[in-house]
Amino acid sequence: MRHLPAPGLLPRTAMTTEFRPTEIDPKWRARWAEQDLYRTPEPSDRPTFYCLDFFPYPSGDGISVGHLRNYVPTDVLSRVMRMRGYDVLHPMGWDAFGLPTENAAIETGRHPSDLTREWSANYKRQLDLAGGSYDWAREINSTHPEYYRWTQWMFLKLYEQGLAYRATGLQWWCPICGALANEEVNADGTDWRDHTDITQRELTQWFFKITDYADQLIEDLEGLDWPDETHAAQVNWIGRSDGADVTFTAETGDEIPVFTTRPDTLFGATFMVLAPEHPLVGRVTTPDRADEVQAYVAAAARKAELERVALDDDKTGVFTGGYAINPVNGERLPIWIADYVLMSYGSGAIMAVPAHDERDFDFATRYGIEIRTVIAPPDWDGEALSEAFVGDGPMVNSGQFDGLSVKDGVRAVTEWLRDRGKGDFAVNYKLRDWLISRQRYWGTPIPIVHCDDCGEVPVPEDQLPVLLPYVEQIDPQKLGGRSPLEAADDWVNAPCPDCGMPGRRETDTLGGFACSSWYFLRFCSPDEHENAFDSNAVRRWMPVDLYVGGAEHSVMHLLYARFWTKALRDAGVLDLTEPFQALRHQGLMLAQPGWVEESALRIDSQGGARVADPDGADAFDNPEAAQPFRRYPLEARFELTGKRAQRNGQALVEFRITKMSKSWRNVVIPDEVAATAGGDALRCFILFMGPFDRTLPWSDLGLAGVSRWLSRVWNIVLGQEMGGTRRRRAAYADVQVELQRRLHQTIRRVSNDIDALKFNTMVAALMEFTNFLIEVGDDDLRATPAWKRTIDTFLILLAPSAVFMAEELWERTGHSQSIHLQPWPEWDEALAADETFTLVVQVNGRVRDRIEAPVATDEASAQSLALASPRVQTHTNGKQLRKVIYRQGRLINLVVG
């Protein structure tokens, strides 16, 4: 791919030195590593700051610049906090067990452990290209026995508490990955990671009893500084519903419990519905309905096995012929079965109140079942409802409960039921237990031995780790459907830890989310050999002060890690309730839009296009652009908008913003940027491109702009002429005072912006200050000590962002100790204060003039200044001054009429 020429490649005269990131970057990377510059400090009495990125999964593709939307901001913050005197923990490691590696191993015939080693080394190299200040002495890897030994140990801690158990049931099954947790299933019935279609199967699997913690997982969110969206996603996923269990009795005598959030509508129940899989379906079905019911049940089962296509809203069902008795009024309710009732929620049966539930309303309408209003809508005239009314109103047609509100009715009816043994208050959750079994090789072995006599026996702690055996053949397809560990006979056969008789090891492995549920603890003491973590170290660093990663983990990882933390706490091994105090999600990086040469493309009918020219295709920012921003290679793909234009007689077609995708050949990787513009331009552009939590397109031209800025910084700091004439835009009474003022204002802006994670405006402040330095930095000023002090401070402000260049300039301006060890500058409000301000003069709220005035100007003087202005007089003449609003140092508003 072609790039704009790097600044370092430009011809220059011998006397000047230019900014050459490709020379500077490697020099400092090597020196910092040698000096161990980013070593986490030993315990001290300084305050601590734990800044953590989501545990990355190292893949064969390496990282793209999109990953750096996560890593660069946390790195900047870590650096600033260090300079502010905090002891900072900013570690990195690899969540490396799992399918992408395992599948690649099968495809390439290599072993996953080799791929893991290579891929994580590559990630590390790329993060260093981007100037990451990680303490690599703390690097951890979830696939190493010294790590997963403790994952196993924690599994046993959960097991001891009854929080890990095996159960048989219908589970989502991916033909590639095996069993999946509910959280890993997309709405369209595909696997969350590889998007293959999945089915349901009857399987015996390991689960963690996360449902025991449902309420805590909701309640403890309260004290956390988390994004609203993530807070909401967790609460919604847990899905707590408060209501009542109500017992209906079928005419066969069988009791049918149902859960409802609206016991107040019990008098409006006109039928019941059982899930097709409900165990009582056979009992309540009458002989004359049996054929139809059986056919429906079979069809529903088939539907569950087929891919779950987009739901059609048409609700179907069949009448069983059976009836149940409504406990509040003794009415006979026909019992139906329908697949809109799920066996997996509540009791798998509902009371249907069509007047006050949209689903029941649809069903009743379709099958001609009575719809009886029992909550009166506003201005209700007694007529039949045209749609379900789910709002509040007085109860009607409900016997002694008439007139109660929904809230009071819920309580009154439930208490009435409870007094008669027909029901009680109840809570239900959408959250299911966490399915943790995987029938694959590349994962943590579950430390359990199955023994004919003793049953399930945990492997004693002193026998951990249960090592994952080195297995050559890991392709389940070539093992006749058996999992690789099942086929490893030498490993599977193990004596029972209790009785010593031959037993068999558990052959399922733990899903990767187990590894990422405690790594933040391991980072506190990664070399601890006797325990999973050193309690003092955990007490020192935890909870994580700032946790940053993608919003796609809003439910899964964050919910699991929170549960795991609470479970360890309850096991008595951890004194912590919530692991992540503050959380943020970085925005996605998209591929940039533009215009591309039509003649080089092969265009399909769908508005898609691929580069067909072996030489590639030039892409332009717009049809008037002087230069292409990038040359896309053969087979690069575009989504066209349909707009066309000409550029020098060349036909261009517009393509839109899309995701970065390897198969589209539009992924920008840090390697190519570091090799041209350098790591600093990459970092600074990522910071500058926009708010850090917003999804934004990459821009090669934007990157070039930031490179130009860095070159200007380089030149002004080294006092090099830049080929043009400097011109002061304003006259300054004392340019040294002004220099100091602007510096202190910049320290304030940069510091405050960093605290607010507004890295884009932080860079803008540095750019503005650079522009100011260039404007005023003539030979006289540059010869003063004030200039020298200003440049020193400016470089420190720049250092967390432009890590290599700031260090190089620091050295070149005569410092011997690393700039990254310097204290963060403080600003002085008095020195930052302006002497004058622009008095904005409004008349009736509209700006009519702007007058430069001393900061201390009081209201009376401001008013005379304002009234003296001819431009103001035009709008006030002949009118009465009714009111004056004055904001000191800002504006005056004259209200006339």
Tell which positions 772-811 bind RNA, by CB under 7 A.
Answer: 774-775
x-or-dash string of contact with RNA, 419-438, rule CB under 7 A = ---------x-x--------
* Closest distance of CB 723 from RNA, Å: 3
406-414, 450-458, 607-615, 708-716 -> range binding RNA (CB under 7 A): 708-716
Q: Which is nearer to RNA, 269 or 521 (CB)?
A: 269
* Closest distance of CB 34 from RNA, Å: 33
For residue 107, what are the contacts with CB-CB under 8 A and spacing of at least 6? Answer: none
> Measured over all CA atoms, what is the biggest interatomic distance in the chain, rounded to whole angstroms?
108
* Closest distance of CB 499 from RNA, Å: 42
Selected binder of RNA within 379, 729, 730, 814 (CB under 7 A): 729
Residue 723 within binding range of RNA, rule CB under 7 A: yes
Q: Are 226 and 220 in contact (CB under 8 A)?
A: no
Name the packing angle between helices 785-798 and 700-717 (round to 10°): 150
412-420, 536-544, 755-763, 779-787 -> range binding RNA (CB under 7 A): 755-763
* Closest distance of CB 283 from RNA, Å: 19
Q: Which is nearer to RNA, 349 or 448 (CB)?
A: 349
Q: What residues from 660 to 689 belong to the interface with RNA (CB under 7 A)? A: 688-689
* Closest distance of CB 241 from RNA, Å: 3
Q: What residues from 354 to 373 belong to the interface with RNA (CB under 7 A)? A: 357, 359
x-or-dash string of contact with RNA, 845-874, rule CB under 7 A = xxx--x--------------------x--x
For residue 516, give the DSSP letter: T
Strands (E), 442-538: 444-445, 448-451, 455-458, 493-495, 502-505, 509-510
Q: Which is nearer to RNA, 158 or 776 (CB)?
A: 776
Where helices occur in 161-224 by DSSP H, the ranges are 214-219
Residue 695 within binding range of RNA, rule CB under 7 A: yes
Residue 378 within binding range of RNA, rule CB under 7 A: no
Nearest to 867 by CA among 845, 889, 848: 848
* Closest distance of CB 708 from RNA, Å: 4
Residue 621 within binding range of RNA, rule CB under 7 A: yes
Matching residue, tokens 């799920």: 342
CA 398/CA 389 separation, integer angstroms: 16
For residue 408, what are the contacts with CB-CB under 8 A and spacing of at least 6? Answer: none
Q: What residues from 809 to 838 belong to the interface with RNA (CB under 7 A)? A: 837-838
Where helices occur in 251-392 by DSSP H, the ranges are 281-284, 290-305, 358-367
Q: Each residue of 259-295: b (16+ CB within 10 Å) or e?
A: bbbbbbbbbbbbbbbbbbbbebbeebbeeebeeebee
Q: Which is nearer to RNA, 104 or 764 (CB)?
A: 764
How many C-beta neighbours within 10 Å does residue 211 have?
A: 16
Residue 724 within binding range of RNA, rule CB under 7 A: yes
Q: What residues from 522 to 551 belong to the interface with RNA (CB under 7 A)? A: 551
Q: What residues from 4 to 33 belong to the interface with RNA (CB under 7 A)? A: 4-5, 7, 10-11
Q: Which is nearer to RNA, 204 or 874 (CB)?
A: 874
* Closest distance of CB 847 from RNA, Å: 5
Selected binder of RNA within 52, 130, 696, 750 (CB under 7 A): 696
- Residue 359 CB burial class (10 angstroms; 0-12, 13-18, ≥19): middle
Residue 697 within binding range of RNA, rule CB under 7 A: yes
* Closest distance of CB 410 from RNA, Å: 11
Residue 876 within binding range of RNA, rule CB under 7 A: no
Q: What residues from 266 to 325 belong to the interface with RNA (CB under 7 A)? A: 275, 311, 313, 315
x-or-dash string of contact with RNA, 163-202, rule CB under 7 A = ----------------------xxx---------------
Nearest to 146 by CA among 468, 542, 565: 468
- What is the chain's length? 897
Residue 149 within binding range of RNA, rule CB under 7 A: no
Q: Which is nearer to RNA, 136 or 772 (CB)?
A: 772
* Closest distance of CB 559 from RNA, Å: 12
Return the C-alpha torsion angle 56, 58, 63, 67, nearest 10: -10
Q: Are 845 and 893 in contact (CB under 8 A)?
A: yes
Residue 895 within binding range of RNA, rule CB under 7 A: yes
* Closest distance of CB 748 from RNA, Å: 13
Selected binder of RNA within 690, 738, 781, 786 (CB under 7 A): 690
* Closest distance of CB 337 from RNA, Å: 12
Q: How many residues bind RNA (CB under 7 A)?
A: 103
Where helices occur in 220-317 by DSSP H, the ranges are 228-238, 281-284, 290-305
* Closest distance of CB 570 from RNA, Å: 26
CA 733/CA 740 separation, integer angstroms: 13
Q: What residues from 89 to 118 belong to the interface with RNA (CB under 7 A)? A: none
Selected binder of RNA within 704, 743, 798, 806 (CB under 7 A): 704
Selected binder of RNA within 179, 224, 369, 891 (CB under 7 A): 891
3-state helix, strand, coil in the chain (%, to 5): 40, 20, 40
Q: Which two tokens stand for residue 232?
A: 């909401």
CA 113/CA 326 separation, integer angstroms: 62
Selected binder of RNA within 569, 633, 705, 815 (CB under 7 A): 705
Residue 708 within binding range of RNA, rule CB under 7 A: yes
Return the C-alpha torsion angle 873, 876, 877, 878, nearest 10: -170
Q: What letter represents residue 268's amino acid?
A: G
Q: Which is nearer to RNA, 105 or 224 (CB)?
A: 224
Q: Which is nearer to RNA, 228 or 734 (CB)?
A: 228
197-205, 672-680, 726-734, 817-825 -> range binding RNA (CB under 7 A): 726-734
* Closest distance of CB 193 from RNA, Å: 12
How many C-beta neighbours within 10 Å does residue 429 have?
A: 18
Residue 763 within binding range of RNA, rule CB under 7 A: yes
For residue 475, what are the contacts with CB-CB under 8 A and spacing of at least 6? Answer: 106, 484
Q: What residues from 208 to 267 belong to the interface with RNA (CB under 7 A)? A: 227-229, 232-233, 236, 239, 241, 243, 259-262
Q: Which is nearer to RNA, 464 or 892 (CB)?
A: 892
Tell me the three-class secondary structure of 733-754, residue by residue.
CCHHHHHHHHHHHHHHHHHHHH
Q: Residue 159: how many CA atoms within 13 Å on its side-chain side?
A: 18
- Angle CA 450–454–457, to nearest 5: 50
Q: Which two tokens stand for residue 647?
A: 């550029």
Phi, psi of 617 (to 5 degrees): -140, 135
Q: What residues from 318 to 357 belong to the interface with RNA (CB under 7 A)? A: 339-346, 348, 350-351, 357
Q: Which two tokens stand for residue 443?
A: 């994962």
Q: Which two tokens stand for residue 229?
A: 């969206």
* Closest distance of CB 344 from RNA, Å: 7
Q: Which is nearer to RNA, 63 or 677 (CB)?
A: 677
Selected binder of RNA within 24, 466, 555, 754 (CB under 7 A): 555
> For 826, left (φ over 0), alpha (ψ -120 to 50), or beta?
beta
x-or-dash string of contact with RNA, 380-419, rule CB under 7 A = ----------------------------------------
